[in-house]
Structure 1
């Protein structure tokens, strides 16, 4: 397992530093490439240390506390995320995010984003892998907005889903499963999800999708993203109960798995209650979680 409690991303933007700064340090700016709704306890156009931002990303809400604000240079916040699972339960996780800007020349600005505070257990590994890939895509959306005037957040995040929680298999999971191949360990498999219907269970390890190896979390997301709207009859190879098996999966674009909910017509509470009801309908045991073990994690 990667024992680092942080990750860092660098992006180079061809835009005025003032415009980049506004985009990443104000609620209004974040709405242009990242969030669906936002608010502030202070002046949203001129934040200061101690202000609180209230941000929504579909089925995820985030309350930020501004810890550092040096105009056009550094912006640091304490993030407190709340995310609704497909069963309606709400999981919380907290990290510290710092964004710095550097004017390289008359044209380019270097943006460095670092996120710190991930736990060293399996859940921390999953959360870090999920968040890092999410931020990488969000930086692509920011670059597109600033340089091309195109908001790509929906295309970037509306890729097909299997209805699972997964992370790059680590040494502890290799011992647990007996799988020595590179792959993605399944922390959870949601009932009536594409993965569940294809016969996968919690504790299995996905080795490839459509014949393409998925040796780590990033490879897995890139591979399933490549299918776009081609959702049906995709071969999946996985390790289960000491054997390598194959099955056919039909991907899903349901918002319960993608997280891309209509926040204009549904509140966070509405989404939670709707998923609680749906989970009971989908599972005869009134529990969404199936497979081996009973640890619960949040989806990404």
Structure 2
């Protein structure tokens, strides 16, 4: 584990490899974060982890190194419901980033409008108990009904609570994006219980999207993450218009198994082997959610 003098943790590779796979022009890293810088954007008093600074300059340098053109910046749990760091990164991106916020369910409509003007296009509900203390479903439903036009809801949960969450997910009337496919056990294979349950969710409505992300989190066998590739490639093939991809940089809470971002990018052709699938995964699908002004 890497820690600085203040005890804060580093969870990202300092020198990621250059990926062999070259993303198509216009490609979007649709799931990444920024941490701080803490001197400008302090971490939440409720934060479950305190990372080293990983601000927009670092994110955009990585974007360029990996061959991507745009980012979707998801509010990190360490910043709680203060989205200032995410909004700052979007502002500094020169139009190359949009974002997903975490909000207090009692947020005023005027504040939602301000977030929209700042480039936010969705809100995130987190059900991982190790990251959040409270996930009030009733209040989440209330705010989901007040979102600006065109927004969606991102939901983060683990596979063992999917069935418990189904009534809640069914009650959300805007499009849903499921982070990291609901964290299935990929060692079960493409036809395992977790993937079958997730497919039932996708089949229940046509406006549920998923992020085919985080082999480093989901594949305990480690690189080259063969179980992840085997389990996820059929999902992308069967739902090609609803799959997204992202690095998850700077990899919150992965300080004990820091992934190589270049190797993560090289997973893309293993789960989306054709140019058509790659374009959907990296450009067409995220543009529909985050840059609808481009796609119409």
TM-score range, shorter chain: 0.3 to 0.5
- Which structure dedicates a bigger proportion of its chain to helix? 2
TM-score, scaled relative to structure 2: 0.32
TM-score, scaled relative to structure 1: 0.32
Whichever of the two has the greater Rg, that structure is 1
Bigger relative contact order, structure 1 or 2 (CA pairs below 8 A, ≥6 apart): 2
